[in-house]
């Protein structure tokens, strides 16, 4: 399925009035993150449509993976174990120009006012590992420097390893506007041997077609493909609003030169709003299966793991367990913190609490937890650079585990159960 097919079959906000790509577009995207939004009239780009908020909720992300929100972890885990080779097909995109003036061809929004940087936050970079032949697909924010020149935030993961093992510039494809299952695959952390295209194909149950162009495989129905080179030369990158909804610092990062721009006719430009729900879902949710697996090794009765949006989908999490004894919550909490070192707080809840429902989690914390007995502090632990409250000089913070499960000792378990209101099967419309 292509991006345009995915969006076309769903309830969405359709904006037909002319909208500026700077400030106005991001502001409107943020107004309603409950469903996809399509802009049909972007000022200065008469042939382009803009699409956002396609996985801005857990329900939409689950739909992209062909499951329910409670089954996300199982769906990702089973696909990781059963990756599928992609079929090859003719590309639906075509070459537009060489050495493009990118901003003249497609909108590159200014999202926030600090330094007024123009960014692609939805860009995925495709590179081929020179030793294994595996295609790596991963998200990397790209700041527009000028015309066909960008600066890439290159985190030390698989692409960085490929970059370091390449003599001279690294040839890559930059893609935007694909089936959201490809985006989830690109955001999934696993081993360097994993081919994210084959993982995406497993999510799509064999429905992903790829085209090999210039020695790189990319989804055949990509809306935008830029063939580029990552240089050894570096430039200032940032500031950028990251998952924490705060400003990330500026760094010296590799320059990127775009040699060719390829597009579909009347392309759908995929825009990801930094720091908001969709950004958080794509970065956080694919981490949950890894956390789940490590917690399961310690507490086999774990039921679910959620990185919460209020916790930036990175710094706070909730683990749902079937509690067997008083030690389970603390063991589950320590395993979760070890599995995701960026995490700062982990809350452990019972089976009857939906870990994705912040109100239910707060209710459990309010009615089942006493701070002097049920909170563990872990001092001077290494955390995430996204947390502005940490000790930046030493990159240290205090982490904490909150046991919000029903206590086994000294209490009647019935005291902690929600009161059930009879008549929940009644329909109000029958009484109108």
**Closest by alpha carbon to 243, among 123, 342, 129, 106?**
342
What pTM did the predictor assign?
0.90
Confidence of residue 410 (pLDDT cuts 50, 70, 90): low
Catalytic (active site) residue 259: no
Q: Using DSSP bridges, classify how beta strands 94-98 and 251-263 pair: parallel, antiparallel or unpaired.
A: antiparallel
Looking at residue 110, what DSSP letter applies?
B
> How far from chain centre, in Å, is Cα 202?
18
Cβ-count burial of 13 within 10 angstroms (0-12 exposed, 13-18 middle, 19+ buried)? Answer: middle
pLDDT exceeds 70 at position 193: yes
The DSSP result for 221-250, as a single string, is T-SEEEEEEEEEEEEEE--EE-TTSSEEPP
pLDDT (0 to 100) of residue 31: 95
> Count of H helices and E strands in the chain?
13, 23
Instruction: Reply yes or no on whether the pLDDT at 408 is more than 90.
Output: no
Same domain? 399 vs 288: yes
Q: Are 105 and 197 in contact (CB under 8 A)?
A: no
Same domain for 346 and 252, yes or no, is no
Strands 49-52 and 268-270: parallel
The Cα–Cα gap between 53 and 382 comes to 33
Domain finish residue from 31, 54, 77: 54
Contact present, 119 and 269 (Cβ < 8 Å): no
Q: Which residues pair with 241 in a beta bridge?
A: 247
Domain of residue 385, CATH code: 3.40.1670.10
Averaged pLDDT of the chain: 93
Q: Which residues contact 289 (CB under 8 A, 6 or more apart)?
A: 73, 76, 77, 80, 305
Which residues sit opposite 305 in a β-bridge? 319
Mean predicted confidence (pLDDT) in 345-373: 96
How many domains are contained in the chain?
3
Asked if residue 210 and residue 170 are part of one domain, the reply reads: yes
Report yes or no on 427 lying in a domain: no
Q: Using only C-alpha atoms, what is the Rg of the chain? A: 23
- Band the pLDDT of 142: cuts 50, 70, 90: very high
Span 267-286, average pLDDT: 94
Q: Catalytic: which of 179, 195, 221, 242? A: 242
91 in a structural domain: yes
Say if residue 412's pLDDT is above 90.
no
């Amino acid at each position: 399925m292509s991006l345009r097919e995915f969006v076309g079959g769903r309830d969405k906000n359709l904006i037909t009035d002319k909208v500026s790509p700077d400030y106005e577009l991001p502001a409107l995207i943020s107004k309603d993150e409950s469903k996809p939004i399509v802009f049909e009239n972007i000022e200065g780009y008469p042939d382009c449509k803009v699409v956002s908020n396609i996985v801005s909720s857990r329900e939409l992300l689950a739909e992209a993976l062909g499951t329910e929100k409670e089954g996300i972890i199982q769906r990702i885990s089973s696909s990781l174990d059963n990756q599928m080779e992609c079929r090859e097909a003719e590309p639906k995109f075509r070459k537009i120009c060489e050495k493009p003036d990118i901003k003249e061809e497609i909108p590159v929004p200014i999202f926030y006012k600090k330094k007024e940087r123009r960014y692609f936050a939805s860009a995925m970079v495709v590179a081929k590992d020179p030793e294994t032949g595996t295609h790596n697909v991963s998200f990397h924010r790209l700041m527009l420097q000028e015309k066909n020149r960008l600066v890439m935030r290159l985190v030390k993961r698989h692409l960085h390893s490929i970059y370091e093992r390449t003599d001279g510039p690294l040839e890559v494809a930059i893609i935007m506007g694909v089936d959201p299952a490809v985006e989830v695959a690109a955001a999934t952390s696993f081993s360097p041997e994993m081919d994210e295209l084959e993982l995406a194909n497993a999510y799509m149950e064999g429905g992903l077609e790829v085209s090999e162009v210039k020695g790189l495989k990319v989804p055949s129905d990509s809306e935008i493909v830029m063939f580029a080179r990552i240089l050894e030369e570096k430039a200032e990158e940032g500031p950028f609003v990251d998952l924490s909804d705060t400003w990330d610092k500026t760094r010296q990062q590799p320059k990127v030169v775009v040699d060719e721009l390829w597009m579909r006719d009347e392309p759908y430009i995929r825009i990801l709003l930094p720091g908001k729900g969709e950004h958080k879902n794509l970065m956080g949710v694919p981490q949950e299966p890894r956390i789940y697996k490590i917690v399961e090794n310690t507490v086999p009765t774990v039921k679910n793991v959620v990185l919460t949006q209020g916790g930036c989908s990175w710094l706070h999490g909730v683990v749902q367990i079937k509690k067997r004894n008083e030690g389970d919550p603390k063991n589950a909490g320590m395993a979760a913190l070890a599995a995701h070192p960026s995490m700062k707080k982990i809350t452990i809840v019972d089976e009857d609490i939906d870990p994705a429902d912040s109100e239910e989690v707060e209710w459990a914390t309010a009615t089942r937890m006493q701070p002097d007995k049920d909170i563990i502090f872990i001092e001077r632990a290494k955390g995430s650079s996204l947390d502005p409250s940490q000790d930046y000089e030493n990159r240290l913070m205090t982490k904490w585990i909150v046991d919000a499960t029903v206590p086994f000792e000294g209490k009647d378990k019935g005291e902690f159960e929600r009161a059930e209101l009879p008549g929940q099967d009644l329909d109000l419309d029958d009484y109108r």
